[in-house]
Amino acid sequence: MASDMPKWEPDGGLHFRTLATSGRARRGRFVTAHGVVETPHFMPVGTQATVKCVLPDQVAATGAQVVLANTYHMGILDRTQIVERLGGLHSMMRWNQSILTDSGGFQVFSLPERKITEEGVSFQFRSGRKDSDTTPMTLSPESAMDIQRRLGADIVMAFDECVDHRMPPKYMAESLDRTFRWLKRCKAVEIQPHQHLFGIIQGGMELELRSKAVRQVTSLNLPGYAIGGVSVGEGHDAMVRVVRHTAPLMPDDQVRYLMGVGLPEDLVAAVECGMDIFDCIIPTRYAREGTVFTWDGKMRLQDKTYRKDRYPIDTACECPTCSGGFSRAYLRHLLFADEPLYGTLATLHNLHFYQDLMRAMRQAIEDDRLSSWAESFRARHLKGREVSGGKR
């Protein structure tokens, strides 16, 4: 495969290449100014320019080749200026691989009080320690792109409206057209030569609107495209229905990004549908809250079962937590003692598990056996949902 390695050139393209297929699933590769990305790929979320609890080198050691930061969180107060002063996100974070920045749309539209106009979205953000310490702000396609340009990420997302999937179809259709107008304004903003703008396909649970959105967004010939507005409470089956319909309509020669997904079973289903890259806070947030992932399902370390359990999370796992011999009983103790070390050890394990999952899927696609692999995975991972104590 080394001969198939695409070369990065400053011509505005990601040079995505499909290396193998298995059903609809794609094993691919693309290159940014900061390195190669093997797909399918999971991108850990570093909302405020950090993946919580772990060092950048530790994140890289899991196999992650892209991390995320968020435009909303990095665009409030004087944070963008601080990033610029420190040489951009890559320099500030000490992360020398690729970075993707979300546009902030999801965060803004989750705020309780906001005003949506053709210009953008006006809202109040908390600027002090008290709930009453708020500052007005308007985020528009132009300002979202300007923030992302200054942050310096490799992949920048268009400003869009992430609509609640329960909204009426009429509002969905109106929002879709407005998001497309915003996308055209995003494209008109000059970004750095190494940056790539991705458009976002919305439409809620309405498949006809999803089809329309694909036609609209792909008409602008962007370097990559994302499916947004899923994993927002609609459930696994509804998410799969939307992705299974939408993914085949997306260009074969561009990166396909599924935003905010998700649980291991969500990732497997989405890869089967033909998606390439993913992000979600689940592995890191679940870790901090006491849940770790294994091939046999989720393990809730709060459970009394693990109070005296001397085994690591997974005896076959090679992450620093498991290979280092840290026991389930010790992790449970750290969790209940509210010791910061717990967050580091649990997060490292979950990040390793997610990258192991993606590596396994890449290999299964290369071997043209993803369907049977996925069936076996689901039978094992979902059979009991939660793992009991003892050696496996």
Q: How far apart, in whole angstroms, are the C-alpha atoms of residue 216 and residue 200?
A: 10
Catalytic residue among 160, 266, 279, 356: 279
- Residue 235's φ and ψ, nearest 5 degrees, are 95, 160
| DSSP code, position 4 | G
Contacts of 66 (CB under 8 A, 6+ apart): 37, 41, 43, 97, 98, 99, 100, 154, 155, 277
User: CB 305: neighbour CB atoms within 10 A?
Assistant: 17
**Helix (H, G, I), strand (E, B), or coil: what is residue 35?**
strand
Catalytic residue list contains 279: yes
DSSP 314: -
Read off the tokens for 301.
């370390």
**DSSP track, 198-260:** EEEE--TT-HHHHHHHHHHHHTT--SEEEE-S-SSSS-HHHHHHHHHHHGGGS-TTSEEEETT
DSSP state of 386: B
Give the separation between CA 237 and CA 242, rounded to whole angstroms.
9
Instruction: Respond yes or no: is residue 237 known to be catalytic.
Output: no
Look-up of token digits 């993606």: 358
Q: Which segments within the chain are labelled E, that is strand? A: 17-22, 25-32, 35-39, 41-44, 66-70, 98-102, 114-116, 121-126, 134-139, 155-157, 196-201, 224-227, 255-258, 277-280, 291-294, 297-300
Is there a contact between 277 and 45 (Cβ–Cβ < 8 Å)? Answer: no
Find out whether 288 and 343 touch, Cβ atoms under 8 Å. Answer: yes
Residue of 102, 309, 314, 356 marked active site: 102
List residues bridging with 52 in a β-sheet: none
Residue 392 · residue 315 · CB < 8 Å: yes
- Cα–Cα distance, 270 to 240 (Å, whole number): 7
Residue bearing tokens 């950048």: 56
Q: Which active-site residues does the annotation give?
A: 102, 279
